[in-house]
Structures are given as C-alpha cells and as structure tokens.
Structure 1
C-alpha cells in the first residue's frame, strides 16, 4: 500500500504543510521522503501521522465494497444508463468513505468528470479536473489511466482535438498493466477513433473505429455501431474512397432508422451532403442537407443550434456553387435570422461573405483581406482560409491586381496540399 501518497493527498486536502503534519512526530524532511515513497517508516510513525489526519490506519480501500459501487456508477455513465447512474451516485454520496478515503475519493472525482461531460457540463467537469490535478503525483496506474482518459475527453469537448488524441493515447499506454472489461476497451477505442478523426489522423481513426466496431457488434450495441460507421464514412471520404465512405454511411443510416435515432440520421445526411459536394454533385448535396433538416430536433441547446447553422452554411455554399443566387440569398436570410437569437462570429462571417459576393459589394475584397481570412487563420480553420483565399484571389485578378492575387492563390494551394484530407462532420 502506498502510504506516502495517501498521506500527501490528505495533508494537501486538509491544507496542512509538511511542518504542521510532522510537528512532534518526525522531521519535515523525513516526512517528505515518506510522501515521495523514498523510505518506509515504522508502523508506529505511520499510525501517529494517520491519527493526526483523522484517518483509519487499518482501512483498505483497494478491496473496499464502495470501489465496486464506484465502478458500477462509471459503467452506467459510460453506457448512458442515466437513471441508474443517478441512483448509484446518490448511494455513493451517502457513504462517508467516498470522500474521506484517498483511493475512493480520487476515483469518485475522476468518474464525476465523465458524468459532467455526459451531460455536456464541460466547465463543471474542468473544475473537478483542476481540483484533483494537484494530487496527480499520488495516483496509482489505474488512476492514471482514467486521469489521462478524462483529460483527453475534456480537451475534445474544448475543441483541442490533437491534444485530446495524444492524452487518450497516453491512457491507452496503461491498459496493459490493468484489467479492464470489454465495454471499457470499446469506449477507449471509440474515443481514440473520434479524436483521431477530428485531429485528421485518418489511418489511426480507421484502425480504432474498426476495433471499437467489432466490440460493439459483439455486444449488439447498435447505437455505438452506427457512430463507428459514421466515423469510418468520414475517414474513407478523406481517403477519397467514396464508395466505402457511402457504404458506411448507408450502414449507419440503416441502424439509425431501425433505432429511430434522429440525431444519427441527421449526421448521416449531413455527411453524405459533404461527400456529394466534394465529388461535384451539388444538387444531390442540397437534397441531403435538406433531408438532414427533417431530423433536426426543435432544441435550444447550443450544440443543436450550432449544427443548424452549419447545415444552413452548407446550403448557402451549394446554392452559390450552382449559381442559384436566389436560393443562396434565401438561406443567407434564414441564417442571419438564427444569428439574432444564437450569435456565432464564424457564421456571421460566412453568411456575410456570400451576401457580399452575390451582391457584388464594392468592399468584398477589403472584407475578405482585413477581417475574414485573418479571423480563420487565427482559429486555424484551414478549410475556410483556403476557400476565402481562393475567392479573394479571383476578385483581385478581376481587378488586375495580379501580384496580390497570386499571393492568395499560393496560400490556398499550399494549405490545400498540406490539408487535403479535410472534410466530414463529426458527431
């Protein structure tokens, strides 16, 4: 048992310095060695230190019944058994060991982060992570696995996809030292696939999505199987294997239709629209974007509203590409109307660019050069820097400003070569 880590955890938690805990028992320097597991003191010394912290020296949390309940709670969270998760949480909160025992308290907090994320309460999850980060040097291997996993998920929710993928990969490195069940393996592989896809590590995304899909199929988890097919569809689209991409989208649609999952159906049609646009089938893209609207729920959540703005943006682009200015203007107006109740700076720029382009506005060049392109550069949203640089290059060429036109065309080409894999909307 790692007594030193337990002592340090409770000392810090109670706001005591090493001098205060060691006073009259041992020297602060010796306590530091104990906390860093550099020495094993006599039991009499440990008992005195434990007593000062109000701890039971004979308590063993590694096989404590509450740990089994904690794992049951975590399983219910991951598998989205919401009512069961709430009941288990209430029972855990009634047991003082959950908060007073180092081992149990750390697991409770790590699982609580996952609970908050399942409800999209990202800031609350981040606050819990901040509160336990100071104890990370007291964690055992199992704690480190969950610590890196939940931090990776936090980064995903914050939009830091590369860091998310790297942190979840760090969690994976602890798996060989632990005994985890198949539902945890599938959860780990799924989130590796998801974060890899968003970070544009396409091969890794395919690899982990296939591994997760195999496990989900074995457990007849239809919803997660559909999610994996969507990830695979996006990945194969980026690899330009459009037939395989469509095959996976159609499999996801078949499952979502069977389970009546409107959210998945919406995502399937959005991603088919993205694929059709990429291969130049703009009318088909419009049909699929409109089909996705049929499955958009009347919801005021930020996620659903932002997604709705993305669909409208897609429809604006496709109507513009087929030179349907009337249809383009119609969707711009609908988009701007939504912005009045749900502001989004990026969509405001998107809608205004197309509005200026179809109106042949005199300040379009200045607007693109001074506001739009710098904004998306700062956000590292390369697909929009590419698109708007190409627009700007064409407009500058029309004005016979050839040198500046070639600069923006070169910028677009360089980014396109570097990020040719872009494409696909993630769930």
Structure 2
C-alpha cells in the first residue's frame, strides 16, 4: 500500500506547490516535511485537510477498477499497440487517480516515464523523473525495478547509452529480489542486449540477446524472437561472422512474416543492406535499402535511415544521378522528423553529399569539419566518425592541403582502432 506521506509529497510536487503553501493554516512546514518523508504519522483530520487542499478525495472504493486498468495499460506499453488507444487509456486512468487515493499510484507514476519516452515527450519524461526523485527512497523493490528500468529507457532514447546501461544493470540487480515474471525478465535482457550493441560491446550483446531469445522461444513470442535475431545479426556482422549474421537475419525475416510484422521485416531488410554494404556487395546493399524505401507503410525516420544509406551507396559507386534522386527525396521528408534525436544526423548526411556533388567546397568543409565531426564525437558514433573523417581527409588531400589532410586521416585511424577494440 502507498504510504500517505509519499502520496502527499508526490501530489504536492506535481501541482508545483511549496511545503509552505500546502502547510499554511494546517500544520507547520517542518511537521509537513516529516509527514512527507515518513518520519511521523499524522492524524486522520490533518491528512484530510491536506488532501482537501490538494483536491484529492480519500476514497478507495474504485481501487479494483483502477488496478485492473493500470495492469492493462502497463501491458500495452510492452508491445507495439495502437498509440491512440494507449493515450486514451492513460487519460482515463489519470482522471481516476486525480480523484482517488490509490495503492496503484506510485507504479502508475513510474510507468509514466516509459509512456512519455515511448510517445516522444522526452521533456515530460525528464520532468517525471525529477518529480519522483523526491520520493524514490521510499520505493519498494518492485517499484525500484521499474524505476531504474524506465530511467534507462529515458537515457537510451537520448543516446546516452552509458547512463542507460548503468540503470538497466541496477534494475537487473533488483530483479532477483522481486517476482516480475518471465516477460519482464526477457524484456530487460533484450533491452540490455540492444544497449550493449549500441555501445559496441558485442560479446555482451550476444550473451544477453541469447538469454532473452531462449525465454521468448518458450513463449512462442515470434515478434520478440525476431528482435533478438536482429541484435544477434548485427553483433555477428561486427565481428565478421557473416554467415551467422545472415542466418539470424533470415530467421528474423521468417518470424516477422509469420507474425505479419512489417516493422521488424523492415528492420531486418535494412540490416541485410548494411551487411552487404560492409562486405562490399553494393548491388545487393542497394537492393535491400531500396526495398525499405519503397515500402509505403514505413515511418519517416526509418525511411530516412534507408535513404541516407542509399545516398552513401550510390555516391560510392559513382551513380550521381541516383544520389541526387535520393537527396531530393530525403529533403522532402526530413522536416517531418525535426523532433527526433537523429534529425541532425540526417541533416548533416544529406547536405554533406549535396555539397560534394555540387562541388561547394567551402560549405562541405565547414559542415563536416565544424558541425558533423564534432556531433559524431559527442555521440560516440565511431563508425560514422571513421567514414566522414576519411572523407574530409580525402577532400583536403585533393586540394593539396596535406597538413589538414593528415590530421583527419589520423583521426580516422585512431577512431578505427578504438572501434575494433570496443
């Protein structure tokens, strides 16, 4: 059951009310602080007065209904579901929470971090984290498990993967103390695998993906199995075990088709393009990238990811007309992802190749040197840092600026060494 002090503190913080404003005429500020921090038990009359000022009814008659709706909503946040339904259910629960003292409140508030992150309201997710920090010391082990996991989600979306893995591992520590079920166990293992993959800790990514896969296989969860096979495919590609990579991608594609999951199918197709690009089979890479781009059901961000890959492939094989075609398509839709954390990367890639093709040398140099390379360094994107450092080095060499050229060749080589040692 939620402690009344934690409930009062949470509601006061959400409403932007100071201790003094809530305490005025009811209790002293110091006494209210003790109530909120569970250092004293207030009388029922004081609790009633404080809740009245907060606009909260001390009514638990709807507890069973609230709990049932919350459990349904938590499940909706797990899988790919209709976003409007998720948002409508959230509003319905919120209205009930605003009027009732519910044992489900803290868990609902913690799940809001996941919810806001999922719908792209990143600022609201951070605000919720800051609100809950005030009472996090009072969370029970189950609440702590989700608290750490969803904080990890927040940092992952912001591409701070080191912070994300820190919180995911804290969540994993709590998991041994609570009964959360195999679904949550597998989901956390998969999430850790993805994060290790982003950090290019390939062996850890493989281990966690295999653990998650073994659970999802027992549950016949084809969607999640396919996601695990994609992580394994990416990992094996990175350590140049290409046959294993292709095997896992094909398994992912087969499972996605069985489950009629277009999004996973698109992800697999794109990653097959990456694999063939890596081994120098540009025709096959282009074939897979185009398959993604030409899918009408694809989201703009995924489409731009495939388009920018096609821009690079076409340019590298000297097909400039096709490169220009892809640049124009990218320019037509790039503004639709302005709120994405990947927007800048799309923008920089599009204009890097635009300036190259149009021989706008000063614009190219200024963009790549002063903006794109610092951006890649900041985000730890070593793969692209190697690519664009070499590109800039080649540009300087072609202009006879050998001192500048050597500087960026060295950056590319140093970054590559770091990349293969990760």
* TM-score, structure 2 as length reference: 0.81
Query: Which residue pairs with 1:410 in the alignment?
Result: 410
- Compared CA separation, residues 267 and 178, structure 1 to 2 (3 A): same
Return the offset for 1:65: 7.1
For residue 315 of structure 1, give the secondary structure of its aligned residue in structure 2.
helix
Query: Which residue pairs with 1:50 in the alignment?
Result: 47
Return the offset for 1:229: 0.9
Query: Which residue pairs with 1:425 in the alignment?
Result: none
Asked if the contact 2:26/2:46 (under 8 Å) is kept, the reply is no
1:325 pairs with 2:314: no
Asked if the contact 1:376/1:382 (under 8 Å) is kept, the reply is yes
1:353 pairs with 2:348: no
Distance 2:36 2:88 in 1: 36
- Compared CA separation, residues 262 and 421, structure 1 to 2 (3 A): farther
Instruction: Show structure 1 runs of 5+ residues with no match.
Output: 423-427
Q: How does 1:371-386 map to 2 (within 5 A)?
A: 371-386=371-386
Q: Deviations over 1:33-69 (max 9, x none)?
A: 665556x66xxx544543443599x9999x9774455
Q: How does 1:23-38 map to 2 (within 5 A)?
A: 36=37
Return the offset for 1:70: 2.7
For residue 333 of structure 1, give the secondary structure of its aligned residue in structure 2.
helix
- Compared CA separation, residues 16 and 126, structure 1 to 2 (3 A): closer
Q: How does 1:6-405 map to 2 (within 5 A)?
A: 8-9=9-10, 15=17, 17=19, 36=37, 46-47=43-44, 49-54=46-51, 66-67=66-67, 69-80=69-80, 92=93, 95=96, 100-101=100-101, 103-297=103-297, 304-339=299-334, 344-363=343-362, 364-365=364-365, 367-405=367-405
Asked if the contact 2:237/2:245 (under 8 Å) is kept, the reply is yes
Asked if the contact 1:226/1:253 (under 8 Å) is kept, the reply is yes
Deviates more, 1:315-324 or 1:376-385: 376-385
Q: Which has the larger radius of gyration?
A: 1
Asked if the contact 2:19/2:29 (under 8 Å) is kept, the reply is no
When the two structures are aligned, how many residues end up with a matched partner? 410
Deviates more, 1:206-215 or 1:13-22: 13-22
Q: Deviations over 1:370-427 (max 9, x none)?
A: 44434444454333332222122223333443332221111110011112389xxxxx
Return the offset for 1:314: 1.1
Distance 1:144 1:282 in 2: 48
For residue 240 of structure 2, give the secondary structure of its aligned residue in structure 1.
coil
Asked if the contact 1:10/1:102 (under 8 Å) is kept, the reply is no
Distance 1:85 1:374 in 2: 38
Asked if the contact 1:116/1:122 (under 8 Å) is kept, the reply is yes
Instruction: Show structure 2 runs of 5+ residues with no match.
Output: none
Asked if the contact 1:266/1:293 (under 8 Å) is kept, the reply is no
For residue 420 of structure 2, give the secondary structure of its aligned residue in structure 1.
coil
Distance 1:95 1:72 in 2: 15
